[in-house]
Amino acid sequence: MPNQEMLLIPGPTPVVDEIYEALAQETYAHTDPRLVKRFKNSLDMLKRLFNTKGEAFIVAGSGTLSMEMAIVNTVAPGEKLLVISHGFFGDRFIPVAQAHGIQVEVLQPEWGQHIEISAVEEKLAQGGYKAVTVTHVDTSTGVISNLEKLVPAVKKHGVLFILDGVCASAAVEEDMSKEYGHPDYTIDLVLTGSQKAIGVPPGLAIVAFGPKALKAREAMDKVAAYYMDILRWLPTMQDPGKYYATHPVNMIYALEKGMEIVMAEGLEARYKRHASLGRAVRAGLAEYGMKALAAEEVAAPTLSCILYPEGVNDAEFRSKLAAKGMVIAGSLAALAGKAFRIGHMGNVTEEMFVKAMELVGETLTEMGFKADTAKAVETFKTVYRLGLAE
């Protein structure tokens, strides 16, 4: 099933033929031993991806479900949660937590910038927090959080570290066994979805619980949930042949193939490819006078929020690109109409982004702007290949 468009939004990402073929296979019964084997294989690969000593959960749903599962199973009503937000999707933890009666406080820098670590430490020093949420890459701003600084700043206060990996997992390291300066300074929970850097269609909520996060759920008498309660799912994750709710059978096939592609590339190679691609896309677009919202030192490998040069009409620009088969996303909140968002993650290729650079230049020219397409393409190629060679 060839893709008719280059879907270069922050997710879903382009789906390769092997995954489409897996998705289209005959649907087995949800407790069929053949499905159980594939489900177990998918879980095993996810545990390797996150290097967790705990458990991974695969549930029919979206990244938003992953967020709610993470919160409801670790923080009880009345307890305090600190949300560290680098944009629109970091903010989403606020209503999710409030819906469950959790006390929420928020730290948020100006969009496009990092939170000051001193502000995090000052807030946590006040005491009483059960957990902190951090969005690894915020899909609205293209900012990547600095885990090297944030994890120890949070963990030295004995607080759970919850990482939203929706726009980062399988493109940026999220090693739950990594020690950030101390054996106790590790990521406790990673939540994600299937449709971004993993490269599978939307439909799966994925959550990895480390030992401390599992203990947090066990210490809670009950949670205000049925479908989202991980203790109800745990026996099924340990033995997918046990029934709790019907598995999304064909999506499990797709996830297994997607994770096989991730593992075949190799995690370190995949992380390097994404880092190189992010820098190259931003460098190429800069030749058109298009500046990234996030400075390079805080910019994400998976997507970029790109500010328009003066005079470019957002709706016209994106509409013309879509007519050429290249789909990008508008920006959110105060940036709406002033910037676009372009995804560069998952199973995308150098050739796709060479084409993207050409289409952007062609479109700008049609709109009456000067565009040196050859220079943008050459800059993209040079930066990308140098990054891979490092």
Same domain (yes/no): 340, 244: no
CA angle 294, 296, 302 (to 5 degrees): 75
**Confidence class of residue 40 from pLDDT cuts 50, 70 and 90?**
very high
Domain count, the chain: 2
Residue 9 forms part of a structural domain:
no
Instruction: Say whether 341 counts as a known binding-site residue.
Output: yes
Give the tens place of pLDDT for each residue, 255-269: 999 999 999 999 999
Same domain (yes/no): 61, 118: yes
Question: How far is it, in rounded angstroms, from Cα 348 to Cα 61?
Answer: 24
Residue 161 forms part of a structural domain:
yes
Show which of 216, 234, 264 is a domain's final residue: 264
Q: What is the pLDDT of residue 3?
A: 77
Predicted confidence (pLDDT) at residue 2 exceeds the cutoff of 80? no
Residue 49 forms part of a structural domain:
yes
Same domain (yes/no): 256, 326: no
Residue 6 forms part of a structural domain:
no
Same domain (yes/no): 239, 367: no
pTM over 0.85: yes
Show which of 264, 287, 318 is a domain's final residue: 264
Same domain (yes/no): 237, 306: no
Show which of 217, 238, 264 is a domain's final residue: 264
Domain interval for residue 110: 17-264
User: What interhelical angle do 350-366 and 267-286 show, nearest 10?
Assistant: 20
Domain with residue 191: its CATH number is 3.40.640.10
Same domain (yes/no): 48, 129: yes
Question: How far is it, in rounded angstroms, from Cα 47 to Cα 59?
Answer: 15
Q: Are 189 and 207 in contact (CB under 8 A)?
A: yes
Same domain (yes/no): 270, 258: no
Same domain (yes/no): 213, 325: no
Give the tens place of pLDDT for each residue, 197-220: 999 999 999 999 999 999 999 999
Domain with residue 288: its CATH number is 3.90.1150.10
